[in-house]
Amino acid sequence: MSYYVDEKGYYGEFGGAYIPEMLYPNTEELRQNYLEIMAAPSFKEEFHQLLKDYVGRPTPLYFAERLSNKYNTKIYLKREDLNHTGAHKVNNTIGQILMAKKLGKNRIIAETGAGQHGVATATVCALMGIECVVYMGEVDIARQAPNVARMKMLGAEVRPALSGSRTLKDATNEAIRDWINNPVDTHYIIGSVVGPHPYPDMVARFQSVISEEIKAQLLEKEGRKNPDYVVACVGGGSNAAGAYYHFLDTPEVGIIAVEAAGKGIHSGESAATSALGKVGIIHGSKTLLMQTPDGQITEPYSISAGLDYPGVGPLHAHLFKSGRGEFISITDDEAMTAGLTLCQLEGIIPAIESSHGLAILEQRKFKSDDIVVMNLSGRGDKDLQNYIDYFKL
Amino acid sequence: MNRIKSKLQENKKLLSIYFTAGYPNIDDTVQIIQDLEQNGVDIIEIGLPFSDPLADGPTIQASSTQALDNGMTTDLLFEQLQDIRKTVSIPLIIMGYFNPVLQYGVEGFCKRCQEIGIDGLILPDLPLDVYQEEYEAIFNKYGLINVYLITPQTSEERIRQIDDASDGFIYMVSSASTTGTKDGFGDEQQAYFDRIASMGLQNPQIVGFGISNQETFKQATQHAKGAIIGSAFIKHLDKNGPQKIDGFVSGIR
């Protein structure tokens, strides 16, 4: 079995392009061109040059000795938190802004929840001098003021999404509506491995630089290319897709996906899609989705704004359904505690999203000679207020 | 014969009205349908509300949210429509998004539609290839017409493909927009209307999006068989309540 996308845009039964006809020409243009554009030597060269000189890649693969001692296993941290703009998100926005230029687009739209993808998009638009509109739920605008300010400083227009629950899913709806209204000149930079085909595959390919580097770095440090496990948090799942990508068809590498249980899987305030979701359609993709029995999409909850998406990328739905991935849910409390542990053992303040991945160490036992790579997807600067409130700092 | 097909054979320009089921009040559905028929409307599109209607503009979004808050569900809509064919004879189409249909079960949904006397479905986010591979046989089994959309950006090749796949009418989206966001038609739309008219398609076209009054109805139906009004009717309901539908319909033609 292969875990990569098939020629029709599916991962097993998940994926596809469930979009209104109005979006067909846009996604079709992308579908017909993205692989060829990405394969062109000049594109690759420009992409990797920017990742190196502008983003600061390769990011270190750091052997976390004190953390390893605590949990009696070998833990490596893939330091995506050290990227420019503070998270893995920029790998994708660099790729997509170059894609937009190749497609001759002169206007960029994006959705954002916590603001990380919005900032990463505003950043590359500033870099390229391209107009940028970021949709953000009105509720998120109120609770993520520093990122709103960053986007504005970078020259982006931040438009509030006023529909529905006024959070990430509604911001995504608004971005899609904008694309329907501006089908010719605009490229939509989706921030995760979600949306209609070819987005999940394209975003995964841009993020796959993470696992490409892991292989090379592990070979250097351990004399082997493959770890025993790769661990990543999954909201939509872009950092996870990047961290897993080159290991998907290597069954000896265990894939562990960590979802946000919020206040507990069955508390009614959770974002653990694999546990709570059923097959459905969200934002143009057939995937696992949190919804009512009547098919209305419900609002998830997590303390981490990057993980509270009611769906999950179709790749991850397939990894779950096929059993290729091991899915673990972590509560707010477990994540916050794990975040503080990393601060105190390794001197690294992680994003709360990434803390969810770290938290599995308390419950998932590994052998002492296992090599466990944890994707540290982002840094915790953006979450300081949450940490302050939670730990009464 | 399917009521949509008979209606399309009538020698007149067809007026189709969309409204969201469960809006403005949860129990308005049947009364609105009956009043629309009595006022001479030719086809009715009953909107099955969805939490995330991504092809719709603010008016239909708000009516969908309100309808869901009022308690509208797929089962309740079917219940309300149970006896609709005792009083209403014009074609009835359910328009909505695919996910609620998928959750209900596509076959079960289609079966209920047939039992009630629904004539067709418009599910904008059910793609043509998926429909043909997985669901066409089910739609046919229950006598339902599936209506496809085209837009000014749809390529000629794709329009021909949709024309071949259609068996009723083609829903011609007037401009690159979500519902209810543009007012009136300019040269660009006129050119698009002319272009489609000259293609000699097998299926008649009914124009939707951007039709709100007599002038836009006339312009849209100059070539096309009919036109669909949605957001403007929802706005009328919002302002006047469900009791004064006659004034709205008589203002269109």
Pair of tokens at residue B10 = 């009538």
* ipTM given for this complex: 0.95
- For position A305, what pLDDT does the model report? 87
pLDDT at B7: 98
| Residue A307, helix vs strand vs coil | coil
* Average pLDDT of the residues in B220-236: 96
Residue B169 · residue B5 · CB < 8 Å:
no
Residue B183 has pLDDT above 80, yes or no: no
- Measured CA to CA, the distance from residue A193 to residue A210 in angstroms comes to 14
Q: A355 and A334 in contact (C-beta within 8 Å)?
A: no
**Residue B45 bears catalytic tag:** yes
Chain-centre distance for alpha carbon B126: 15
pLDDT digits (tens, 9 = 90+) for B102-150: 999 999 999 999 999 999 999 999 999 999 999 999 999 999 999 999 9
**Yes or no, beta carbons of B153 and A22 under 8 Å apart:** yes
Helices (H), B95-155: 98-104, 106-116, 128-130, 136-141
Extended beta strands in chain A, E state: 10-11, 14-15, 61-63, 74-79, 107-112, 131-137, 157-161, 186-189, 229-233, 254-262, 278-282, 285-289, 325-331, 371-376
pLDDT value, residue A165: 80
Q: Is residue B177 scored above 90 in pLDDT? A: no
* Size of the A and B interface in Cβ pairs below 8 Å: 112
Contact A36, A44 (CB under 8 A): no
Q: Which residues from A are below 8 Å from B126, CB to CB?
A: 18
CB nearest to A22's CB, from B127, B148, B173: B173
In this model, does residue B31 exceed pLDDT 90? yes
CB nearest to A180's CB, from B55, B65, B150: B55
Architecture of domain A56-87+208-391: 3-Layer(aba) Sandwich (3.40)
Is-contact A22 A28, C-beta < 8 A?
no
Contact of B125 with chain A, judged by CB distance below 8 Å, is answered with yes
The answer to whether B163 contacts chain A (CB < 8 Å) is no
Which residue of B lies nearest to A15 if distances are taken between CA atoms? B130
What is the structure's pLDDT at B181? 78
Distance of residue B230 Cα from the nearest chain A Cα, in angstroms: 17
B57 interfacial to chain A (CB closer than 8 Å): yes
Could you tell me the residue ranges of all domains in chain A?
23-50+89-203, 56-87+208-391
* Neighbour tally for A384: CB within 10 Å: 12
Asked if domains A23-50+89-203 and A56-87+208-391 share a fold, the reply is yes
**What are φ and ψ of residue A314, in 5° steps?**
-60, -30
The low-confidence residues of chain A, meaning pLDDT below 70, are none
A353 CB-near residues (< 8 Å, 6+ apart): A233, A235, A239, A304, A306, A307, A377, A378
Distance of CA A188 to the CA centre of its chain: 16
Taken as a whole, chain A contains a residue count of 393
B63 near A CB under 8 A: no
- Res A365: pLDDT: 97
Which candidate from A18, A169, A291 shows the least CB-CB separation from B98? A18
Q: Mark whether B156 is an active-site residue.
A: no
Is A363 in the B-facing interface, judged by CB distances under 8 Å? no
Could you confirm whether A52 is annotated as catalytic?
A: no
The structure tokens listed for A181 are 């209204």
Q: Are the beta carbons of A282 and B102 separated by less than 8 Å?
A: no
When pLDDT is averaged across residues B145-169 and rounded to a whole number, the result is 97
Q: What is the pLDDT of residue B203?
A: 98
- A-chain residues near B56 (CB < 8 A): 177
Distances (CA, A) of A144 to A139, A175, A217, A305, A392: 9, 19, 35, 9, 19
Residue B168 has pLDDT above 80, yes or no: yes
Of B103, B124, B158, which has the smallest distance from its Cβ to A293's Cβ? B103
| Right CATH for A23-50+89-203 from 3.40.50.300, 3.50.50.60, 3.40.50.1100, 3.40.640.10 | 3.40.50.1100
Q: Which of A164, A180, A182 sits opposite B52 (nearest CB)?
A: A164
Q: Looking at CA atoms only, how far is residue A16 from chain B in angstroms? A: 9
Q: Does the pLDDT value for residue B253 go beyond 90?
A: no
B182 pLDDT more than 90 = no
Q: For chain B, which domains are there? A: 13-248 (3.20.20.70)
Q: Kindly determine whether residue B55 and residue A278, on different chains, have CB atoms separated by under 8 Å.
A: no
A 294-323 near B (Cβ less than 8 A): 294-298
Q: Confirm if A80 and A59 have CB atoms less than 8 A apart.
A: yes
Candidates A68, A74, A78, A89; catalytic one = A89
The tens digit of pLDDT for each residue in B66-111 reads 999 999 999 999 999 999 999 999 999 999 999 999 999 999 999 9
The answer to whether the Cβ–Cβ distance between A18 and B65 falls below 8 Å is no
Chain B residues in contact with A298 (beta carbon < 8 A):
51
